[in-house]
Amino acid sequence: MKQRNYRHTGQDEPQTITKAVTHIRLEATNAGKLAALDDLAQVYLSLCQQYVTLFCTDEHPDKFRATCFATPLSERWHRVAIQQSAGIAKSWRTNRTQAYQDYLDDLLDYHQQEAEGTLDAEAKEPVWREWNIPTLRQTCIQANVNVAVLEPTQDSSFDYWLKISTLAFRKQLFVPIKLADYHRKALAGKTSNTSVTLNKRGNGWWLTLSYDETVLVQTKPAAPVVGVDVGIANFLTTSAGKHYGTFHGKLRERQKRDREKRRRKAKLRKCLEKKNVEKLPSTSSKSGQRLTRHVRQEINRAVNQCFAEHEGAQFAYEHLSVATMKHKARAMNAYMRASNLAHIPEQIAWNAVKRGVVAT
């Protein structure tokens, strides 16, 4: 069971958490059913790619945009493709904007060092490399009730029938769904949401179901208030002076090593480019991705510990606008990004909601 998101309805009102049950393998009584789903997915993915390209180049993402590409898909499927493509393009535009801002910061840092005479002799002026438009390689369909309906079965060895509209006019696929015991336990007494997600992995299809769970506020109005400051040296610092988690120490040393490794790779690329070497080493680092995961784990651990030690209390925490926090020094910006500072308030808010705790 994987937790997805929540809807905030007010400080003292119930909160709604959306949870997902994942990795439910689709089974079919004959191969023709999933073959028809493969055909549908191929056309759907092609249409999504067209709208992703449109929203990343000529237009801003708009999930309500009028249709503009020819496709054998129905109007309802067309609308689903537009909505999914708009979400992909919006995320891409946000990430590109952040990357471009980082480039401008690096460029400013370069010129400042040049003016002060402290520039490294081997340093090169930062160059902006335009991002490629996202290419959809993995088949993922975020379907709503207009094109895919999940219906409980009656007197069957299967738990549900997934009814999917196909390319053929008024012809639907009926794909049987078999739940594992832990899926049935998770869904017991709950109503699944009408939207489902279909993923093609290897030679198999997988279904993602979700459901909403309402969490009542447990905090009493007269409960003591715990103030929480957010930071890098200490992820959380309460008003009583107790610290929880830190980016310093092992995480900080890992970040330094990873940044130095990327700089060495960048210098190596420059040398190889001068020698006209065609195959150049990548400047990306998998260790950086692992560091990000570990930092988030440490933040989650710190927030969980803080809530566990202040059971029954209300929380007043610092709401940071990390997007506007910029430093002149390039190293400081890299340091702040690696610390995942923006994740801390998000994790506090999420923990408060799922525990029924008031946090403002």
Domain boundary among 216, 234, 266: 216
Domain boundary among 189, 216, 243: 216
Domain tally for the chain? 2
Residue 10 predicted with pLDDT over 50: no
251-260: average pLDDT: 69
303-329: average pLDDT: 77
Residue 171 predicted with pLDDT over 90: no
Residue 201 predicted with pLDDT over 80: yes
Same domain, 98 and 171: yes
pLDDT for 71: 94
Give backbone dihedrals phi and psi of 110, rounded to 5 degrees, phi first.
-60, -50
Same domain, 58 and 103: yes
17-39: average pLDDT: 76
Same domain, 332 and 234: yes
pLDDT for 9: 43
Same domain, 304 and 161: no
Same domain, 138 and 261: no
* 151 or 337, greater pLDDT: 151
Residue 178 predicted with pLDDT over 60: yes
128-137: average pLDDT: 92
- Determine contact, residues 82/144, Cβ cutoff 8 Å: no
Q: What number of residues does the chain have?
A: 360
Cα dihedral across residues 167, 172, 173, 179: positive or negative: positive
Helix (H) or strand (E) holding 73: none
pLDDT grade for 43, boundaries at 50, 70 and 90? very high
Q: The tokens 């480019």 sit on which residue?
A: 273
**Structure tokens that stand for 95 in this block:** 């990430």
Domain that holds residue 5: 1-216
Under 8 Å CB-to-CB from 45, ≥6 apart: which residues? 136, 139
27, HSE (Cβ side, Cα atoms, 13 Å): 11
37, HSE (Cβ side, Cα atoms, 13 Å): 28
pLDDT in tens, 259-299: 666 666 666 666 766 666 655 555 454 555 677 777 788 88
pLDDT grade for 84, boundaries at 50, 70 and 90? very high
State the pTM of this model.
Answer: 0.67
Cα(248)–Cα(41) distance, integer angstroms:
47
Same domain, 139 and 279: no
Same domain, 268 and 352: yes
**Structure tokens that stand for 303 in this block:** 């927030």
174, HSE (Cβ side, Cα atoms, 13 Å): 8
Lowest mean pLDDT across 189-198, 211-220, 229-238:
211-220
Under 8 Å CB-to-CB from 166, ≥6 apart: which residues? 36, 37, 39, 40, 172, 173
Residue 175 predicted with pLDDT over 80: yes
Cα(101)–Cα(170) distance, integer angstroms:
49
pLDDT grade for 317, boundaries at 50, 70 and 90? confident
